[in-house]
Amino acid sequence: MDGLLAVSWLVPFLPLLAFALLTLFGSRLGQGAAWLSILFTGVAAVLAVLLLSPASTYLQDQQHPYQWGFSWLQIGSVTVSLGVSLTGLNLLMLPIVSVIALLVQVYAVGYMHGDARYPRFFAYMSLFTGSMLALVVSPNFLQLYIFWEMVGLCSYLLIGFWYQRSQAAKAAKKAFIVTRIGDVGLLVAIFLIFAATGSFEFSAVIQAVQSRQLGGGFVTAIALLIFLGAAGKSAQFPLHVWLPDAMEGPTPVSALIHAATMVAAGVYLVALTFPIFAASAAAMQVVAWIGAISAFLAATIALAQTDFKRVIAYSTISQLGYMMLGLGVGSITAGMFHLTTHAVFKALLFLAVGAVIHEADTQELDEVSGLWGKMKITAITFFIGALALSGIPPFAGFWSKDGILAAVVSQGNWGLAVLGFLTVLLTAFYIWRIGFRLFFGEQRAPHGYEKVHEAPLMMMVPMGLLALGAIGTGFFGGNISRLLGSGAVPEAGWGVAILATVLALVGIGAAFLTYLRPGFGEAAVARLLGPVWIAFKRKYWIDEGYQAGVVRPTLALAAGVRQADGNIIDTAVESVGAAPGAIGEGVARAQTGRAQTYLAVGTIAVVLLVIVSVIGGSR
């Protein structure tokens, strides 16, 4: 089976090859473009799954991960290599990314059907898949950063895929700029690491940290800078503002990039560089608190949004916050386990609401409801996803979320624990609010309720498979902890499990009472909460705050600089240019056009020269 390890580089390479082929020949393939992309991603996914067993055996036998690479750059005495490193963490990410990418691409065959730029869409999807896979197998910081930016680029391209809509173009720009703020942190961290250790390799850096070669303050600074990059990518407070806007992209994109994989890259990065964080208690505190605050804030915002796709986006922020919380309290296993289950059930939720958007052609809760009669299968898959998200046993979310909560409780930080448990309640409420409002109640849709029917088979099959995953992945916690080798999933204990489940059931019950019992409704909740509800609905005015505090001052500064450039610098430069012209204008008058004048001047000049030279010569 070692032969398989030798071709592990094919996993990221195949989707990238598909991108190249689609870019060159995509327009000629037409609808076939999708199948090319699916074929290549499919082979990569099969390979990624098959790799699990030989690579983990290798890991156990050799006590170090399988490495493959080639030297890419030689800078002085430093060799920068590109390649593949199959650690437990990487081995976990490979199947998650490739299998979900495969399912989402199959779904997109139905969802994107008839789009004018159909091959382009699949080219971008392939590029994303390949870049993400290359990111998660990186053996060093430089390769990680290259593909970190590549997935950011794909995110930008795909959010703005329908660039004709100005909202989508703006959202793409916003996502790119906000994540870039985080990326600068990561880049500076990489520079600092290189300056201190002279190496980009993860193993060398982690060894340097563990052997305490680096100072405590220095390690904290590096950890916080890395976390800044992770928070930008994983949309953690206060850099979370781009993710809800990113919902302007096509729904398969939201499911793949903005729920299951790319946004999880931040969590992956923290898990990958975990020894650096572990060496700094302050950095761990920051990670845990930012995670908990993100989880709680995003969940409260999700309560009041009327765009149901955005609710799920806020839910993603909230769940990513849980993962960060898990890492922050020291349990890689809990964080990565939740990443795995979340990838499955959140992709499922996105695909299910995508089916609704595809059929009803709206994302507004106020415009569509009562779809149960028309879309039973979609509704069932959605509710499976909702059960998994709210953490009802035995669905996937229950196991992983309880792992995180147990880790928090065992650490004994009650502030974090309270936020974590409150978020469970809120999560259950907001997701079932969507479910009840979409599928029950008055039967209506913007283009006529009668026209709505189930989505095409190509969309239903991935939803079904993911629904099975949302039920089943929760039972793989033991396998994941063995693969990662980072300790067992924290034991929830009956207390935590029962409390979390009861809170989730209370949330579901509250949503049921609010939305399905006649005479009560959102208006009543809004009245009850008053200004608090308005704060939720307006997302705590964070966007407005950024607009007033960052965007407008920046634009004003830019306008001022532009004015200064136009008035002061341009004037100076233009004067320098104009001066020779003016001098020339004056001197040109000497050119009269009269040949006799020229001749006279010439003659007089020669005579003078002769006189001068004669006088000079006689001295």
Partner 1 sequence: MIGLGPYVALGAVLFAIGAYGALTRHNPIAVLMCIEMMLNAANINFVAFSSFGGSIDGQIFVIFSLVVAACEAATGLALVLGVYRNRDIQEIGDMHLLKW
Residue numbers at the binding site for partner 1 (CB under 8 A): 588-589, 591-596, 599-600, 603
Complex with partner 1: residue 577 or 586, whichever CB lies closer: 586
Taking the chain, what is the end-to-end CA distance rounded to the nearest angstrom? 104
Taking the CA atoms of residue 311, residue 312, residue 317 and residue 323 in that order, the dihedral angle to the nearest 10 degrees is 140
Backbone angles phi, psi at 369, to 5 degrees: -165, 170
Residue nearer to partner 1 on the CB measure, 558 or 606: 606
Q: What is the CA radius of gyration of the chain?
A: 31
Residue tagged 């532009």 (tokens): 562
- Cβ pair 389, 431 in contact under 8 A: yes
| Closer residue to partner 1 (CB): 412 or 584 | 584
Provide the minimum distance between the beta carbon of 601 and partner 1 in the complex, in angstroms, as a whole number. Answer: 10
In whole angstroms, give the CA distance from residue 123 to residue 24.
10
Residue placing its CB nearer to partner 1 in the complex, 587 or 615:
587
Taken as a whole, the chain contains a residue count of 619
Cα–Cα distances (Å) from 28 to 17, 120, 162, 341, in that order, read 17, 11, 21, 38
The three-class DSSP label of residue 72 is strand
Least distance from partner 1 to the Cβ atom of residue 585, Å: 9
What does each C-alpha distance from 35 to 13, 18, 449, 492 come to in angstroms? Answer: 17, 10, 33, 44
Cβ 573 to partner 1, closest distance in Å?
26
DSSP class of 454: P
CB of 576 to partner 1, least distance (A): 23
- What is the distance between the alpha carbons of residues 105 and 41, in angstroms, rounded to a whole number? 9
Residues paired with 201 in a beta bridge: 140
Task: Collapse the DSSP code of 30 into the 3-class scheme (helix H, G, I; strand E, B; otherwise coil) and give the result.
Answer: coil
Minimum CB separation of residue 581 from partner 1 in Å reads: 13
CB nearer partner 1, residue 457 or residue 595: 595
How far apart are the C-alpha atoms of 372 and 511, rounded to whole Å? 17
> CA-CA distance, 112 to 122, in Å (whole number)?
10
Pair 271, 330: CB distance under 8 Å: no
Least distance in angstroms from the C-beta of 586 to partner 1: 11
**75 versus 595: smaller Cβ distance to partner 1:** 595
Structure tokens belonging to residue 266: 């931040």
Alpha-carbon distance of 4 to 54, in angstroms, equals: 8
Least distance to partner 1, CB of residue 558, Å: 44
Judged by CB, which is closer to partner 1: 53, or 603? 603
CB of 569 to partner 1, least distance (A): 32
Nearest distance from residue 617's CB to partner 1, in Å?
19
Nearer to partner 1, 517 or 589 (CB): 589
